[in-house]
Amino acid sequence: MINNEKIVNKKVMKKTIIGITVVGKDREGIVASFTNFVFQNGGNIEKVNQNVIKGLFGMYLEASFTDIINVKKFDSGIQILSKKEKMDVNTHHETNLEKNIGVFVTKEPLCIETILDATKKKLLNGKISVIIGTEKTLENIAKKVKIPFILIEESNQDKAEEEIIKVCKKYEIDLIVLARYMKILSPNFVWRYPNRIINIHPSLLPAFPGAVAYAQAYERGTKIVGVTSHYVTENLDQGPIILQDSFKVDPNDTLEQIKSKGQKLEADTLLKAIKMHLENKLEVRWRKVHIKSKSMQ
């Protein structure tokens, strides 16, 4: 028997995803205030993560909207709420447009040179909008490719981060890359860019954390030395691991030879991690990085 009922093809609405970061002095009612705002605007909470360290509150909300939403109106409304609640709030909208990348450097050039070469060859779905340095060593590299170089010499890390936050907002940074940046970022900064700060570390974490990993590996006679690219969290060198790679150490290798091999591998591994992030291939679940299937991208 043929069923003559009309079949209606419903058009599946594409979700609009808005990431919301809330940072400020801890007190009661903040979570409810911002989650209720999302609900009142027809949104659904996909993810929520909150932390409190020494009275500093940080929260990341990922809200989805199946109906058409006026993003500008939403952003305007949440900024009004942020002033009322005395919190610093930022929104981030994932799109297929070219992402703005902010690269943080100190004095080692190979990572930033490798990234710049990749952007020149159009291998990345993004552009380096600004380079932020703690000293002038790499300023000429930025000048050669006509990318703004912002020097942050402030020794007080809290004040330095205030300056960096202003720069990142000015250039509407989507992704931050730590290209051998030798400063430890505080929770106050990291919480504003959840899973949007990528670091490279010269060891197969969790082994040999800190700034002298190659020397530690050399002193211990390690037979395999590697590097780890990971997302940055408030816990030093403990963020979700994106990629790891390694090379064998010859017993006759000097510390400088190990460093040289390692620095080349650092640059290549960092570039791979950046590329995967920009292509929306990475997803963080339960502190682990998962590679998305094609159907999820």
Decide if pLDDT at 278 tops 70.
yes
Q: Which pLDDT score is estimated for 266?
A: 94
Residue 258: band (very low, low, confident or very high) from pLDDT cuts 50, 70, 90:
confident
Average the pLDDT over 170-174 and give the result. Answer: 94
Cβ–Cβ < 8 Å for 105, 112: yes
Decide if pLDDT at 31 tops 50.
yes
Q: Where are the domains of the chain?
A: 16-93, 99-296
Whole-angstrom distance, CA of residue 265 vs CA of residue 248: 12
Decide if pLDDT at 2 tops 60.
no
Give the other-Cβ count within 10 Å of 1's Cβ. Answer: 3
Tens digits of per-residue pLDDT, 227-253? Answer: 899 999 988 778 899 999 988 888 888
Whole-prediction pTM: 0.84
Catalytic residue among 117, 237, 245, 250: 237
Q: Which pLDDT score is estimated for 211?
A: 65
Tens digits of per-residue pLDDT, 134-151? Answer: 999 999 999 999 999 999
In sequence order, which residues have a C-beta less than 8 Å from that of residue 86 and are 6 or more positions away?
A: 24, 25
Residue 15: band (very low, low, confident or very high) from pLDDT cuts 50, 70, 90:
confident
Cβ–Cβ < 8 Å for 46, 20: no
Domain 16-93 has CATH 3.20.20.10: no
75 catalytic residue (yes or no): no
Q: Which pLDDT score is estimated for 295?
A: 52
Average the pLDDT over 65-84 and give the result. Answer: 91
Decide if pLDDT at 1 tops 60.
no
DSSP 34-102: HHHHHHHTT-EEEEEEEEEETTEEEEEEEEEESS---HHHHHHHHHHHHHHHT-EEEEEE--SSPEEEE
Decide if pLDDT at 210 tops 70.
no
- Chain mean pLDDT for the chain: 88
Decide if pLDDT at 277 tops 70.
yes
Decide if pLDDT at 259 tops 60.
yes
Domain 99-296 has CATH 3.40.50.170: yes
